[in-house]
Structure 1
């Protein structure tokens, strides 16, 4: 008699999850409710919580994640892997060369004279040393302490050098979300100016090409109320405080940004978030793209 089939041979192979293409921009929850009529909102929240919703290959857990036209959404058959989270940051990608994190507001990128340990660099140094005591991390670019969102660290001098040297060509998309004061007269446009830093560490904007470095910012209003606007900002250049200064130039400073003209702080933080980052891996040549959830405090200002 033939032997009894092993449990592995009896296991049913599930077909791959169907992919749903986004036809118009919307929040993830609204999209899933429309696409999955057999599931209620609580069912969908469970899928999100368990890491079973994937957007363009990246697990998304926030119901208010903003979808863009052309993105692909799928529902995993099984629970996704647990996220690698620390106080102040979450690791969204890691290989032998790079680490990509989602940094919370209030966390420094690197140490200062007065703060040595509450930094992304310190946390990630401890993370890699737990795997290999000789391991190090290297900062590729920075975010202001009060700006949240995506950052890249290298795990070798070579990866850092290659990525920094090719940054302007390697980065395919660098998109921020900004909550600004007031309603923009022109809902979208481009700002060009030359930026320079004063001795007081304040960035000034000028139309004189002899006064600083060229900065180019593209912006588009996504949502607005009578008092605030949610603005998508794409950087063509990456100068220090570029978005903050350019929003001030428009007459609509970022909320909470007293340094650059803000008069209100309705969310108790700077209204700036590094939302999307797409770049070419400096070692493997792979195209990497990451998109974070819209901060809840941002979405709360524009909820219906």
Structure 2
């Protein structure tokens, strides 16, 4: 299975790691025509990525089998202009980002407001004015993490029309109020949305959409619990509603029962997404780091 291993971008060099060593010595060996200061500058400017993730630390430890990519200055500059997100993976068919909390996925009421869609669109057009992107799914404004875009309408439709089969695994991390007693569990209910756009849950079929959420306790203290959450279905506000239902609302989620906001944001992060690639049929897993503040609050 592929994990965050990016396709070679235009004007870049890629190298496979065959022995364990630190990043700077690796680069100095591969870029032996460049001076040491030049290589260090390339690293500092964010032109180097390891398995699709940007790395600037000189002593970053490389593992056998990883892939190092060195972007041209022009391509790196193009990516650095993006705000509120990081590119995790890109090829001819899809682009995967790590969205920051506070950034809308798309469709802002204020047309001047930046969204993940507008930022990715601008990045793509900067490389090729004829290219477009299409959003495949959404994250709430205050939820961070993995978000997938398609580079053609055909790919978008293929993913959306077959989402339940092609999205093999969707893992979130949630910081919730209180000490969740169960080590793991499943919440199953039917969700309906009111006219005021609040989703409510019913234990029996009320004509709404069936929603199934699995959770596993990662760590906790008396005030907060860090949960790994797996979605069997992907309904609007599903995790937020189900956490309120079990009596442990997501922190910062005033709409669904939270009375505290220790993170100054919603305590929900889309940690990983595993999909069947819409063109190659390869199973690919895209992962992002859990925000350190989530982990620290549950220590």
Task: Give the TM-score taking structure 1 as reference length.
Answer: 0.75
Cα separation, 2, equivalents of 1:173 and 1:261: 27
Cα separation, 2, equivalents of 1:213 and 1:165: 17
| Aligned with 1:74 (options 52, 55, 63) | 63
Cα separation, 2, equivalents of 1:154 and 1:248: 33
**Residues 1:14 and 1:183: Cα distance change in structure 2 (over 3 Å):** closer
**Residues 1:152 and 1:78: Cα distance change in structure 2 (over 3 Å):** closer
Shift of 1:268: 0.6
Aligned to 1:205: 201
- Secondary structure at 1:223 match in 2: strand
Shift of 1:299: 2.1
- Secondary structure at 1:199 match in 2: coil
Shift of 1:78: 8.9
Aligned to 2:219: 223
Shift of 1:116: 4.1
- Secondary structure at 1:221 match in 2: strand
Shift of 1:115: 4.5
Task: Give the TM-score taking structure 2 as reference length.
Answer: 0.77
For the pair 1:150 / 2:143, whether they are aligned, the reply is no
Shift of 1:62: 11
For the pair 1:195 / 2:197, whether they are aligned, the reply is no
For the pair 1:276 / 2:278, whether they are aligned, the reply is no
| Aligned with 2:98 (options 91, 95, 102) | 102
**Residues 1:279 and 1:78: Cα distance change in structure 2 (over 3 Å):** closer
**Residues 1:81 and 1:295: Cα distance change in structure 2 (over 3 Å):** farther
**Residues 1:203 and 1:62: Cα distance change in structure 2 (over 3 Å):** farther
Cα separation, 1, equivalents of 2:273 and 2:196: 31
Aligned to 1:172: 168
**Residues 1:61 and 1:206: Cα distance change in structure 2 (over 3 Å):** farther
**Residues 1:210 and 1:51: Cα distance change in structure 2 (over 3 Å):** same
For the pair 1:236 / 2:232, whether they are aligned, the reply is yes
Q: How does 1:13-24 map to 2 (within 5 A)?
A: 16-17=18-19
Cα separation, 2, equivalents of 1:14 and 1:128: 26
Shift of 1:249: 0.4
**Bigger RCO (CA 8 Å, 6+ sep):** 2
Computed over aligned residues only, the root mean square deviation of the Cα atoms, in angstroms, reads 2.9
Is the CA contact 2:17–2:67 (under 8 Å) kept in the aligned structure 1?
no
Cα separation, 2, equivalents of 1:192 and 1:171: 19
Is the CA contact 2:103–2:115 (under 8 Å) kept in the aligned structure 1?
yes
Which moves more between the two structures, 184-193 or 116-125?
116-125
Q: Which has the greater radius of gyration?
A: 1
Unaligned segments of structure 2, at least 5 residues: 1-14, 22-42
**Residues 1:61 and 1:75: Cα distance change in structure 2 (over 3 Å):** farther
- Secondary structure at 2:244 match in 1: helix
Aligned to 2:178: 182
Unaligned segments of structure 1, at least 5 residues: 1-12, 20-46, 64-72
- Secondary structure at 1:289 match in 2: strand
Is the CA contact 1:53–1:75 (under 8 Å) kept in the aligned structure 2?
no
Is the CA contact 1:217–1:234 (under 8 Å) kept in the aligned structure 2?
yes
**Residues 1:302 and 1:51: Cα distance change in structure 2 (over 3 Å):** farther
Shift of 1:242: 0.2
Aligned residues: 252
Is the CA contact 1:17–1:77 (under 8 Å) kept in the aligned structure 2?
no
